[in-house]
Amino acid sequence: MPSAAALTGTVHVPTSQVLVRALFVGLVASALIGVPFVLRYWNEVKAAQRDALIEDRHHVELGSRITAQTLQAVVSDLRYLSDQNELKELLAEDTAPHRTRLAQEHAAFLRQKPEYDQVRWIGADGWEKARVHRTATGVEIALPNQLQNKTGRYYFDATMKLEEGQVYVSALDLNVERDRVEEPRKPTLRVAVPLFASDGRRAGILIVNFLAGPMLAELRALTPPGGSNIWLLNAEGYWLLGPGDDVEWAFMYPDRVDRSLAVREPDVWRRLSTEIQGDIDTATGLLTFERFYPLRPGRGAATRARELATSAADSYWIVAAYLPRAVLGAHARELAQQQLVAYALMAGLAFSAAAGLAYLSFRNRALSQLVSHVVDHVPALVSYVDAGERYRFVNRYYETLFGTPRSQLVSRPVREVIGEAAYAEALPRIRTALAGEPVSFEAAIEYSKAGHRDVSVTYAPDVAPGGRVRGFIAVINDITAQKAAERRERERMREVAHATRLASVGELATQIAHEVNQPITAMVTYCAAAQRNVQAESPNNTRLAGLIGAIADEAQRVSAVIRRLRDFVRKGEIAFVATDVNEIVTDSLRLVAGEAVSQQVQVVEQLATEPLRVMADPVLVSQAILNLVRNAIEAVTTSAAGRHEVRVATRRTGHAAEVSVTDTGPGLSPEVVPRLFEAFVTTKPNGLGMGLSITRSIIEAHGGQLRYCEAPGGGCTFTLTLPGIDS
């Protein structure tokens, strides 16, 4: 875009009209210079003090809002943790795998949320069942021998008395280690909820340690530019955030318990502890304050949060801004100097200023017309929204997109113009912009008249010199076509990658099928010749003829498996038929019975008593089960000691049939697990790394899933599920 100077050079300013306006304004300005300076000075001093109070009130209100939002976020995170499926499963069945999964979920939560120090589940008996904590090197899961009994701790006893859905919030204090305040200081807030089992009995508590340091730093950062200080006091009058390090957290140090506002300024504290909000003119300065209740709603502007819980150690906090009187005096002297200089220069510069103002007035009018013309031709939605969320200006693109003349859009609420769905999406960002923060985001928005649009949005706040946000400028680019093109390109790249992988596997399968089918065909031919010879020479030897026939049948089955796998990787049609999973498992285990006996491995069948009917290709599913069982047998044989056992179980899970293969082998290393199902990844010295990859592809082609987990007693468990059909 051209610079302001370049735009100014393109407009024409009428000289004669500028001179007439300058003469008139200069005469009026000269007459106004006679206003007594003292009156102006006192008005300015009072205005400056009033502005300072307004600024302090704004920052106090903002500090209360920040504190309330922080507590809401902590309670929201805690409710999210208490509603996790891993916790529900653990409460239903307290097992080591369930505890491990819960601890892993809590560890992932701490890694994503640096503002938390600990997450713990404490049982109803007071013992920690699971604890994840932050250390200097990262996030650690406490070992069973590191868990402690918390019976008698204040937060445990208080939370255990709460009903379901209620929350306990501790006092905001410093973390203490070995009866000493931890250095550097670690402000901590403990938030907990009671836990209940499905039968209604108490199952303990879930508690998080919230590090309040960032919240206090954010409050300290709110310090107004006029010289005020932000304070945060508890209900006993102690500074949590105050005028100096020597008085902050004094109640945590036995030798500083007298360093509180309640002791030093009892009259001031009497008002603070009895009034919701207000301004106090003390001997040393101005104090603007607001009381904030962490957990319950009440009357007065200080209460910012809805009801979060029913139990709190700190009944209320006080957010205050203190402006020293010395700062006010310095500001008054500065105002006096400014007024004297302005008064001395105003008479001499009256006509010059009038001429300049006249010129600027005509130039800005012409420039405004030019800018309006440019903005109207920008292919984006450009508007100005005031603090009441009403449009004050919209460019012509609004008419194009919404089909409504912009004269009918100006002064209408944003919610009414863009519709409920779009307003719900934009509302949090609008509030951020009206709080003075610039906002940029991309979103898919459903407009009431323009339909579904992908947009790139920028909100630029319009902040007055005093800090008040008058509104914001909105620039909205329609990127629907661009996003659609990006989605098409991503889909195309996925298809190309998939086609490349399957082409490689398809070529390998074709080569294997070509090389293997020839000797298999020869085996079948030799078996047929052998049967004829037996029938001719020993017609009564039916047992030998049966064995030769069984060899031929198995050779043909190998040929069918290779052919079905080759067709599968080439995206051939799968021969779906209604079949019983139990029968497939039984047939598959019959094929590996000899191998299991030779390896001295016991294969245990635990089949469901009812038929588990699915639509599947029996050959492919049997091959998938064989892959898992053979892998299990090989894993068990590598184990030096212990039971050499492979357990194969089937059961119905909802509408699905489930087959699990569990071995008692040594298990898998953590490095292999994330890439377990990738092609060419193997833990065997001579393995190709294709078995599990093909097995998962077969199961997913049937609409099912293949999962891995550690077996409770050691070893591995692979579970495949297939969609069931009605019997």
* pLDDT score for 304: 37
**Fold (topology level) of 577-723:** Heat Shock Protein 90 (3.30.565)
Residue 212 has pLDDT above 60, yes or no: yes
Strands 317-324 and 381-386: unpaired
* pLDDT score for 111: 93
Q: Which residues touch 340 (CB under 8 Å, ≥6 apart)?
A: 37
Tell me the range of 257-266, 298-307, 531-540, 672-681 where mean pLDDT is highest.
257-266
- Helix (H), strand (E) at residue 147: none
Residue 313: pLDDT band (50, 70, 90) is low
Residues 124-135: b if buried by 16+ CB within 10 A, e if exposed: bebebbbbbbbe
- pLDDT top residue among 406 and 344: 406
* pLDDT score for 359: 66
Residue 285 has pLDDT above 80, yes or no: yes
Q: How far apart are CA 119 and CA 230, in angstroms?
A: 31
In 3D space, the residue among 208, 204, 173 whose CA is nearest the CA of residue 192 turns out to be: 208
Residue 9: pLDDT band (50, 70, 90) is low
Residue 525: pLDDT band (50, 70, 90) is confident
Determine if residue 86 is left, alpha or beta; phi over 0 gives left, psi from -120 to 50 gives alpha, anything else beta.
alpha
Ranges for all domains in the chain classified under CATH 3.30.565.10? 577-723
Residue 308: pLDDT band (50, 70, 90) is very low
Cis peptide before 184 (omega within 30 of 0): yes
- pLDDT top residue among 300 and 193: 193
Does the pTM surpass 0.85? The reply is no
The answer to whether the beta carbons of residues 413 and 389 sit under 8 Å apart is yes
HEC string of 399-426 equals HHHHCCCHHHHCCCEHHHHHCHHHHHHH
Mean pLDDT, residues 593-606: 88
Mean pLDDT, residues 7-22: 71
Q: What percent of the chain has pLDDT over 90?
A: 20
* Tokens linked to 214: 């960032």
DSSP secondary-structure letter at 638? Answer: T
Distance of CA 582 to the CA centre of its chain: 43
Residue 543: pLDDT band (50, 70, 90) is confident
* pLDDT score for 67: 85
Residue 686: pLDDT band (50, 70, 90) is low
| pLDDT tens column, 86-128 | 998 888 888 989 999 999 999 999 999 999 999 999 999 999 9
- pLDDT top residue among 508 and 353: 353
End-to-end CA distance of the chain: 70
Backbone angles phi, psi at 454, to 5 degrees: -90, 125
Q: Which amino acid is at 126?
A: G
* pLDDT score for 612: 92
Least-confidence region, from 24-28, 368-372, 438-442, 674-678: 368-372
Three-state secondary structure call for residue 469: strand
To the nearest 5 percent, what fractions of the chain are helix, strand and coil?
A: 50, 25, 30
Q: Which residues touch 681 (CB under 8 Å, ≥6 apart)?
A: 672, 675, 689, 692, 693
The answer to whether the beta carbons of residues 494 and 79 sit under 8 Å apart is no
* pLDDT score for 607: 93
Give the count of alpha carbons within 13 A of 315, CB side only.
5
* pLDDT score for 566: 61
Ranges for all domains in the chain classified under CATH 1.10.287.130? 484-569
Residue 428 has pLDDT above 80, yes or no: yes
Residue 306: pLDDT band (50, 70, 90) is very low
- pLDDT top residue among 582 and 404: 582
- DSSP string for 377-394: TSSSEEEEEETTSBEEEE
Residue 571 has pLDDT above 60, yes or no: no
Q: Which residues touch 650 (CB under 8 Å, ≥6 apart)?
A: 581, 582, 585, 606, 607, 608, 612, 657, 658, 659, 660
For 223-308+315-328, give the CATH class. Answer: alpha beta
Residue 681: pLDDT band (50, 70, 90) is low
Strands 602-606 and 645-653: parallel
- Domain 379-478 matching CATH 3.30.450.20: the answer reads yes
Three-state secondary structure call for residue 324: strand
- pLDDT top residue among 348 and 53: 53
Mean pLDDT, residues 262-277: 88
| pLDDT tens column, 369-397 | 666 666 767 778 888 899 888 988 888 87
- DSSP string for 568-589: HHTTPPP--EEEEHHHHHHHHH
Q: Which residues touch 47 (CB under 8 Å, ≥6 apart)?
A: none
Ranges for all domains in the chain classified under CATH 3.30.450.20? 70-215, 223-308+315-328, 379-478
Mean pLDDT, residues 261-275: 88
Residue 300: pLDDT band (50, 70, 90) is very low
| pLDDT tens column, 237-258 | 899 998 888 999 998 898 988 9
Residue 298: pLDDT band (50, 70, 90) is very low
CATH of 70-215, one of 3.40.50.11540, 3.90.79.10, 3.30.450.20, 3.30.390.30: 3.30.450.20
Q: What percent of the chain has pLDDT over 70?
A: 82
Residue 42 has pLDDT above 80, yes or no: no
Question: What is the CATH architecture of 484-569?
Answer: Orthogonal Bundle (1.10)
Give the count of alpha carbons within 13 A of 440, CB side only.
1
Residue 297: pLDDT band (50, 70, 90) is very low
Distance of CA 720 to the CA centre of its chain: 31
Mean pLDDT, the chain, rounded, equals: 81
* pLDDT score for 203: 92
